Structure 1
Amino acid sequence: MRNDERFEIERAFDLLPHVVGASWTAVWFRMQGIRKPTVEEFREKTLEYLKMIEPVFESFPKNEDFEAINKYIDFRKKQEYEKIISGENKEIEKRYDRYVDYG
């Protein structure tokens, strides 16, 4: 698969973890009155919210025309999930720090 064929999916996976996952997580903790969650709690909740949009990741047809992009989506999804849990997603870590500093 050429880079230009996966460009939009790459951008989506660059943004979705923190725009959807961490944003909804911050609101959830704020509404629960939890001002200082652990970083592990924040990562787990972020992943929980990100997983809620999995139907979008599985929305392309399961046929030969979409086989390559579906494989790439599955690869990036797993990669992003691991980065969130391990603390390697810098945007999630930044959102966590901002939340515990400013709530």
Structure 2
Amino acid sequence: MRNDERFEIQRAFDLLPHVVGASWTAVWFRMKGIKKPTREEFREKTIEYLQLVEPVFGSYPKEEEFTEINKYIEFRKKEEYEKIRTGENTEIETRYDRYVDYG
């Protein structure tokens, strides 16, 4: 698959973890009155919210011309979840730091 064929999916996976996952997570902790969640709690809650948009990840048809993009989406999804869990998603870590500093 050419890079230009997956460009939009790449951008979505670059943004969705922190725009959807971490944003909803910060509001959830704020509304629960939890000012200092652990990093692990913040990461897991981020994944939980990101998983709510998974129906979009599987929305392309299971037709032959979509096989490669569907495989790429599955690969990126797993990769992003792992990066969040291990603290390798710097944007999530920044959002966590900001939340515990400013609540």
TM-score, normalising length from structure 2? 1.00
Shift of 1:20: 0.1
Question: Which residue is 1:83 aligned to?
Answer: 83
Question: Which residue is 1:30 aligned to?
Answer: 30
- Can you list the C-alpha shifts for 1:23-53, whole angstroms capped at 9, x where unaligned? 0000000000000000000000000000000
Question: Which residue is 2:43 aligned to?
Answer: 43
Quote the Cα distance in structure 1 between the aligned partners of 2:78 and 2:44.
14
**1:67 partner letter:** T
The alignment yields a C-alpha RMSD, in angstroms, of: 0.2
**1:64 partner letter:** E
- The count of residues paired between Structure 1 and Structure 2 equals 103
Question: Which residue is 1:54 aligned to?
Answer: 54
Quote the Cα distance in structure 2 between the aligned partners of 1:49 and 1:37.
16
Question: Which residue is 2:14 aligned to?
Answer: 14
